[in-house]
Structure formats: C-alpha cells, structure tokens
Amino acid sequence: MPPFPEVKFYISGLWLLFKGDPQGLKKLDMTDRGMMRSFWAFVWCLPAMFVYWTGMRFAFLSSSTEGTKAGIGFYLRLFLIEGINWILPLVLLGILCLLLKTERNFTAIVVATNWLSVPISYAYAVLTLLLFLVPFAAGVIALVQLALLIATIFAISRFVRQICGPEPLVVATTMLVLLVPGLIIADLLQSYLGVSPY
C-alpha cells in the first residue's frame, strides 16, 4: 500500500493539472505498475467512505419506519455499490479507448481519476461530519457539496484535456463515460439493494 508521502506526491501532481500545468503529469506514475498501485486509492478512501456511509445510514433511518434496522449488512451493501461504481466506469473507459484507438491514454486517465478520489472522498466526509455537527447549516453545506461536484467535474475535464489533447469530442465522450454511468448505477443499486435514503 502506498504510504502517505507517496499519495501526497501524486495529489500534488493532480493539483498542478487542475491549475492547467502539464508538469503535473510527471508526478504521476503512468506505468502499468503505477496504474495497478493507483487502485490502492480505494483503500485510502475507505475511512472517508465510512463517514459518508454513516451519514447515509442516518438519513435512511430518519426516513424509514420506526424499528427499521441498518447494521453491518447496510454497510456491506454500500461497500458493494462503491466497488461497482469504481470499476464500471473504468471498464467502459477501456472499451471507449479501444473504439477511439486511444489505448495509450487509458493508463494515465485511470491513474489520475483513481488518485483524485482520495481528496474528493475526504472532502465529502468533512461535509458529512459538518451536517452532524451543525445541522442548521444544511443549506450552506448543500451549496458547498454542489460546488465540490462542479470542481470535481472541472478537475476531470482538465486531466482528460492534458492527457488526450484538446479534441472536444474525445474529451466530452470520455467525461460522459467517467461520470454518467456511475451516477445512474449508484442510484439504481441503492434502490435495488434497499439502502436509498430517499
């Protein structure tokens, strides 16, 4: 598992890419080994995910009838959804890269998006904790969550442009593959597995 200094180094590279500096690519390990190591980002995200899942559990119980239980099985189902939601877009990205004959970009995009998940997950965890600590500020926190979503989309678009070049069709298609399926699948699976708080 990559230690914190290594993860911090990768995130500093992402920050450079976010600012439009292509030098950030040099701070990411774009080799096949680096791509496989980037999946450790999922493990790094688990503590933050647990905080977010606890927030979902609270919302789920609040909207359910009295006596509803949400124990370890609830967390396991959320873990399953998160795993599928992590892998499926990357599988679709691989297919897209084959169709567009841009296979050389696949590794770099996977590395960048995997490590991006770490700061994003912890940012959402902090917002979830704030909802518990200052519930009267829910409206403001919701606006911050929206801003974080927009920043995430902007960051991914920056990464894809730096990696794939400025071709609008390639960038737009890659963005759709990375973002839309995950949102749809997460919503469907939450409803199917009975963990949706809405």
- DSSP labels, 78-136: HHHHHHHHHHHHHHHHHHHHHHHT-GGGHHHHHHHHHHHHHHHHHHHHHHHHHHHH-GG
Return the pLDDT at 134. Answer: 87
d(CA 39, CA 35): 7
Query: Directed axis angle between helix 168-192 and helix 72-100, to 10°?
Result: 150
- The dihedral sign for the CA sequence 93, 95, 101, 103: positive
Between the CA atoms of 18, 90, 49 and 122, what dihedral angle is there, to the nearest 10 degrees? Answer: -10
Segments in the chain below pLDDT 70 = 67
Task: Let me know: does 18 contact 158? Beta carbons within 8 Å.
Answer: yes
Q: Does pTM surpass 0.95?
A: no
d(CA 116, CA 197): 26
The identity of residue 162, as a single letter, is: Q
Buried b (16+ CB within 10 A) or exposed e, 149-168: eeebeebbbbbbbbbbeeee
Query: Directed axis angle between helix 4-18 and helix 138-164, to 10°?
Result: 80
Return the pLDDT at 70. Answer: 80
Return the pLDDT at 15. Answer: 94
Return the pLDDT at 195. Answer: 84
Residue pointed to by tokens 């995009």: 109
